[in-house]
Structure 1
């Protein structure tokens, strides 16, 4: 009985009062008593009976409930995900306040790219507390809850995490109850989606859980672009005894976007630079974006003594990501026969890449509850070893289609591909115009980083009201980066260096009442030169900045976060209200120049300030909600480029809001809606100032937007319910990210209708 159906089961109890005993003292048989209650939530971190609220983190290093943790941690439960109708992490996370999307710059589209509180987070995605390397397309079918830690958190996450981190908590086998659920979905744009979640116990000691996925859908109003998803997640639990639990998991996912749509583009000049209208689907028929993921994880939970518990995770994984995509922009072209000039949409030369990711990770955390000097301590001592290797290259692109326009003035041979002819008539074969194909080439880069980390954390009750948290982590890393010419096999660069990063986290909370805390916290994060595996030596995009062909000689980029906040558990712990005000300063920023290795060491500094509010849980017995608001400001404080100082960060939305609410009108029928808003943003190079003209206008603006979804569900019986989702109900044209040139203006999905039938076996 999955989370998504738990909220729909009628809360009815039917019982019959026992009649008086007959005079002849004979036993009278009673009618069968039927009880309809809330289904078991298999998520061990859930707040019982509250589908939109998590009680605890899936990361065992957080020893206290989320309502007592001195940090902003937003949690999206599986129930909230199911109700929303969203299925991919990119969709789910982009709907959260304080998070924006990047474009996979210049078509560098290995997978999802997130920006948290203005800072790059594309490599700061974790699964059950272990970093998930490689920019892959990520799905939600095997996720129990999503945790978004806001603010620097290298004491938990290691290198990176300047703005925060995303941790996906996966579904695990359980001995608590057997359940089987199948969901079958269909919708507009030929959408089809089937998932199954089956958990079965074998005796008192073994349990198996399987989650499977098949999904296929057209991009709304962007045919023939298409998304296909296939996945399986298997989890086996062995409870050796009441103190020892061993779990073995396998996760496999195959994703493919056929003719992936890179969206619209900007046209015009500032201050009248706007998204182009009615851009046709220009993706070429053989374009693709693929991601294959296979991971195997072993987990051990061993209660060594009543106050001593070991949690251990070991993971080996491989992933392969590849793409051949086509971009477009508006440009002046010429009719080769007449020389006539005209403005039209034009195809670019394409964007390609592949990467093979191979990684091993082990993490062990020992929790020791101990009273020392009259104070209750919850110690965490941890050790981690990771070996992440990414080998990458590109594709050789060939075009067999005939050119239909000219890029230079005058009469002559055509040498370009245009959407229309000189009279504005659209071409009839736009999706096959270039006749584009890609052939995989040898590798151009071999990137590898090995890390050994030690952590020590303590949560201690100083008094009945004051609680302190402290954490310290040291990461020793060894980075290797080899560059190669993939046509001659000649090594063009061999860069390596090592260093040790030390980061901390301090928090102090005060219980104003047993259910209300106020807190203050300080946390740091550090990132390394060349730490982005997908960027290589493209210094402007997180790649290595070199000096005299050497990678070393730079301090790590350092972020410091100060936060004051409050958390209040309301209505018998059914609703959590949060508020936080914060400031993050990032110093010693590596400032890259472009796609090359030129840049400056440690010359940048920026600041993000803001306030965030959140609600999650049951507002009333019938109304569930998850609401978030973020109001942020960013500013470049120092830069090697003087004109950047004082500007906001690129791809930064100052205001963002999201709300999802569901009302249980009757025991069988519920309905709800979601709303999200993002203010306008200005494109530019990652991790630096937004692009502005000398007159103060944004060069590549992304308009603000508000998008609304609606949903409803009806339960026919204890076993069967139906949900309908209408995504982007007003069919709003909106845009989620822009490349710094104005190309790749990612367009949000148009209106889509989804029907999902859930059956519990």
Structure 2
């Protein structure tokens, strides 16, 4: 429907009651005209939303999913914009951490670029997509321009290409629309000096053009951890040209600037097994020169062309650049000595720091042709796709210089200690913290030249089909072939001497197949199998650290290793209840990963194709409206992992590292009146054990050596709508001020701390 027709229809509907009042006024001279307060709801510009259900999406924004989510034989969790807004969370990392089956990781291997996700026990830091195209810049990601977030669980290479062993994250961005105009502003203030302003403006020009702009500015201290702070600013511009009913072109620009000043690496573990626990009352020890920042700029063009009634082309082209950089400081506890005695004491000391920078340059094009065709009496929904990507990542490090005076030693020289102090302790022998911890080391950093040039080109072809075999039985299948060409150059970034030049190419072939059976009008049971593969050296941030996704070398060359291969079996059911207002899902799954690349103590020569692991689990979910007034999203997963093969025999039988067996989340909202609503969020994660990714968790004598304790955190929120244009929302995050931790480094040297209690008050106004 065109915007003009829609406006005329709405105008007519609104004028009819006025006409009736006017007619009454002609017969009755006295009319009592009372003030009427209209408390309407905002129209949702998201074309994938389920009408009237703020927490439920109807369809995927990925055009390759031809059926509604309730009919798709795969676990796909969707976090809608309404759910994001109500939660009060803004960074993508925070939003995903609240979803079942997803945990967070630390900056393993000294890498602290952006966010690190682990889906169903498998690394997914490079498996983040924006509108269906891989986002190779490992940046800090924000939600201000996001319409919905889709989380596909299980191996997904036939859709996403290399990687995606545990799943993939697809952020769907806000696009210009001709459906209606709107202007929305939000301003928030809160504890920890929090301030945040966003705007979302959409304007149509005539019948064919529309422009949409989203703007963000925000800053805050890290709750409970000042002077560590975060700042975010962004701009997303989208333009739509609808040439005809059958052809449209959308172009957009996305820019984001994020900076964490004095980023906080949290705490550390103390004690020995079996009494290994997080240290209490760890001060903020980040140095004033520490930072973590990301700058992102992308340009994207989209074509939607209905060539014929049964033939539609969707095409996306993107060029992007991002720069990421960090200088961070960790700390760890141990035995220390002061300058005049050999009497030992236990204290934490600053480490030497972690640094890195990246310059990312990428181009991607993807075209998908949908062809609805009846063959042999069966209705087919074919998808034929082609994709080309060119990803370049140049990276290096910083030189750290310390000018502060050392205040303790890490070793004793006997009864009469001699020798200089050599460490920066946070506290003295009496447990008292030193003053001015943030300037203790007098630390500064100078950027060095590049030490790694990573470059991957990929050409991919896909073919998929969804077909109704009977009125109840449907089949879904697809295959994808990826030809890639990888080049990796390493050099000494102080001398400029090339230390390694590696290259190889290969072809990955992956597929999936599913059957779904309608057991009722709006209910299916399904079974599916899917594969995923990853390449040797596929993680741009890991260089030749083979245990972290870096290249495995052998005899000075890149190893002729097989790709890591994951196979997933899933049996599930989906029920679209209450006239499509509530979606209930449940799935049993098993993912087996073989030919895993295992690291060899950070050596450049690693152990390849020696690892194998398995994850089994059950995941359930509810999303939508439970009653006319109660809506929400509830999910939970119970999983078990096991290392089935390893070059280290003692690893076999142990669980995977950074793996939470149980996770649960619930976000419920109750509409008390047309004006007042309130709700709560609960999230629980069982304990887990740190270690090197893709290998066994670190155990000593059967007890976890690097534990992350279980936690349960509660948030509450309430909103009041004063008019159709104006509403107010209050969020209290971590209402119980729970001390909890989200991830641990493999050595226990730093332990990421969750945010303390935070209060946020947001005003929303629509012109």
| TM-score (ref. length: structure 2) | 0.95
Alignment check: 8 A CA contact 2:39 2:723 kept: no
Give how far 1:100 is off: 0.5
Q: Structure 1, residues 273-300: CA drift from partner, whole Å, max 9, x if none?
A: 0000000000001100010000000000
Q: Residue 558 of structure 2: SS of its match in structure 1?
A: coil
Contact 1:474-1:502 at 8 Å conserved across structures? yes
Could you tell me how far apart the structure 1 residues matched to 2:21 and 2:424 are? Answer: 87
**Deviations 1:355-409 (Å, cap 9, x if unpaired)?**
1000000000000111111111110000000000000000000001111111220
Matches within 5 A, 1:182-201: 182-201=185-204
1:553 alignment partner, SS class: coil
Where do 5+ consecutive residues of structure 2 fail to align? 1-12
- Indicate the residue corresponding to 1:708 in structure 2: 714
Question: Once the 2 structures are TM-superposed, how far is the Cα of residue 122 of structure 1 from its aligned partner?
Answer: 0.3
Q: Does 1:591 align with 2:598?
A: yes
Q: How does 1:310-329 map to 2 (within 5 A)?
A: 310-329=313-332
Deviations 1:428-477 (A, max 9, x none): 11100001111000000000000000000001111100111011000000
Equivalent of residue 114 in structure 2, options 111, 127, 151: 111
Cα distance, 1:38 vs structure 2? 3.5
Give 1:603's aligned residue: 610
**Pairs within 5 Å for 1:43-122:** 43-122=46-125
Q: Distance in 1 between matches of 2:435 and 2:271?
A: 26
Structure 1 pair 188–36 and aligned structure 2 pair: CA distance change class (3 A): closer
1:261/1:35 CA distance change after superposition, 3 Å: closer
Contact map agreement 1:18 1:30 (CA 8 A) in 2: no
Q: Over residues 150-176 of structure 1, what are the superposed CA-to-partner deviations in whole Å (9 max), with x where a residue is unaligned?
A: 000100000000000000000000000
TM-fit CA distance, 1:24: 10
Match of 2:4 in 1: none
Displacement after TM superposition at 1:19 (Å): 8.2
Matches within 5 A, 1:38-437: 38-410=41-413, 411=417, 412-437=419-444
| Equivalent residue for 1:730, pick from 725, 736, 739 | 736
Secondary structure of residue in 2 paired with 1:446: strand
Q: Say whether the 8 Å CA contact 2:634–2:667 is kept in structure 1.
A: yes
Aligned to 2:634: 627
Tell me how far 1:339 sits from its aligned partner: 3.1
SS in 2 for 1:607: strand
Distance (whole Å) between structure 2 residues aligned to residue 309 and residue 595 of structure 1: 49
Report if aligned partners of 1:107, 1:325 keep a CA contact under 8 Å in 2: no
Equivalent in 460, 485, 488 of residue 481 of structure 1: 488
Whole-angstrom distance in 2 between the partners of 1:659 and 1:573: 20
1:483 CA drift (Å): 0.3
| Counterparts of 2:166 and 2:28, CA distance in 1 | 73
Partner of 1:571: 578
Residues 540-689 of structure 1: matches in 2 within 5 Å?
A: 540-689=547-696
Measure the CA separation in 2 of the matches of 1:735 and 1:271: 19
Per-residue deviation, residues 501-532 of structure 1 (Å, max 9, x unmatched): 00001011001111100000000000000000
- Map 1:464-479 to 2 at 5 A: 464-479=471-486
- The CA deviation string for residues 214-271 of structure 1, in whole angstroms up to 9 with x for no partner, is 0100011111000000000000000011111000000000000000000000000111
Give the TM-score normalised by structure 1. 0.96
Is 1:747 matched up with 2:744?
no
> How far is the alpha carbon of 1:39 from its aligned partner?
2.7
| Distance in 2 (alpha carbons) for counterparts of 1:218 and 1:23 | 60
Q: Is the 8 A contact 1:569 1:575 kept in 2?
A: yes
Give the secondary-structure state (helix, strand or coil) at the position aligned to 1:501.
Answer: strand
Alpha-carbon offset, residue 30 of structure 1: 12
Deviation at 1:549, TM superposition (A): 1.2
8 A Cα contact 1:265 1:328, kept in partner: yes
SS at match of 2:395: strand
Instruction: Classify 1:16/1:634 alpha carbon distance in 2 versus 1 (closer, same or farther; 3 Å).
Output: same
Range that drifts further, 542-551 or 320-329: 542-551
CA–CA separation in structure 2 for the residues paired with 1:475 and 1:584 = 21
2:96 aligns to what SS in structure 1?
helix
**Aligned pair partner of 1:505 in 504, 512, 526:** 512
1:696-731 C-alpha deviation (Å, 9 max, x unpaired): 111101110000000000011111100000000000
Deviation at 1:22, TM superposition (A): 8.9
CA distance in 2, matches of 1:220, 1:706: 18
- Is the Cα–Cα contact under 8 Å of residues 37 and 723 in structure 2 kept in the other structure? no
State the distance in 2 between where 1:44 and 1:301 align: 14
CA change 1:553–1:23 in 2 (3 A) is closer
Q: Secondary structure at the match of 1:359?
A: strand
> Aligned residue for 1:756?
762
Q: Per-residue displacement from partner, 1:90-110 (whole Å, max 9, x unpaired)?
A: 000011000000101144111
Report the alpha carbon displacement of residue 337 of structure 1 after superposing the two structures with TM: 2.2
Aligned residues of 2:55 and 2:82 also touching (Cα < 8 A): yes
- Return the alpha-carbon distance in structure 2 between the equivalents of residues 542 and 18 of structure 1: 71
Structure 1 residues 43, 737: closer, same or farther in 2, change over 3 A?
Answer: same
| Cα distance change on mapping 1:27 and 1:71 into 2, 3 Å | farther
Q: What's the secondary structure of 1:447's corresponding residue?
A: strand
Note the C-alpha offset of 1:21.
Answer: 7.7
8 A contact 1:419–1:426 mirrored in 2? yes
Contact kept? 1:539, 1:594, Cα under 8 Å: no
| Partner-residue secondary structure (3-state), 2:632 | strand
Per the alignment, do residues 397 and 150 of structure 1 end up closer, same or farther by CA in structure 2, a change over 3 Å counting? same
For residues 278-337 of structure 1, what are the alpha-carbon distances to aligned partners after superposition, in whole Å with 9 as ceiling and x for unaligned? 000000011000100000000000011111110000000000000000000101111112
- For the structure 1 residues 73 and 403, does the alpha-carbon distance in structure 2 shift closer, same or farther, using more than 3 Å as the test? same
Q: Relative to structure 1, is the Cα distance of residues 197 and 20 closer, same or farther in structure 2, using a 3 angstrom cutoff?
A: closer
Q: Distance in 1 between matches of 2:394 and 2:543?
A: 10
Q: Note the C-alpha offset of 1:37.
A: 4.4
CA–CA distance in structure 2, aligned partners of residues 159 and 574 of structure 1 = 35
TM-superposed deviation, 1:25: 10
Residue of structure 1 in register with 2:8 after alignment = none
Structure 1 residues not aligned, in runs of 5+:
1-11
Judging changes above 3 Å, is the alpha-carbon distance between structure 1 residues 204 and 366 closer, same or farther for their aligned structure 2 residues?
A: same
Q: Name the CA shift for 1:62/1:145 in 2 (closer, same or farther; >3 Å).
A: same
* 1:28-55 Cα deviation digits (max 9, x unpaired): 9998999754332100000011100000
User: 1:528 pairs with 507, 525, 535, which one?
Assistant: 535
Q: State the SS of the aligned residue for 1:596.
A: coil
- State the distance in 2 between where 1:710 and 1:23 align: 49
Structure 2 Cα separation of the partners of residues 26 and 701 of structure 1:
79
- Structure 1 window deviating more from structure 2 (319-328 vs 14-23): it is 14-23
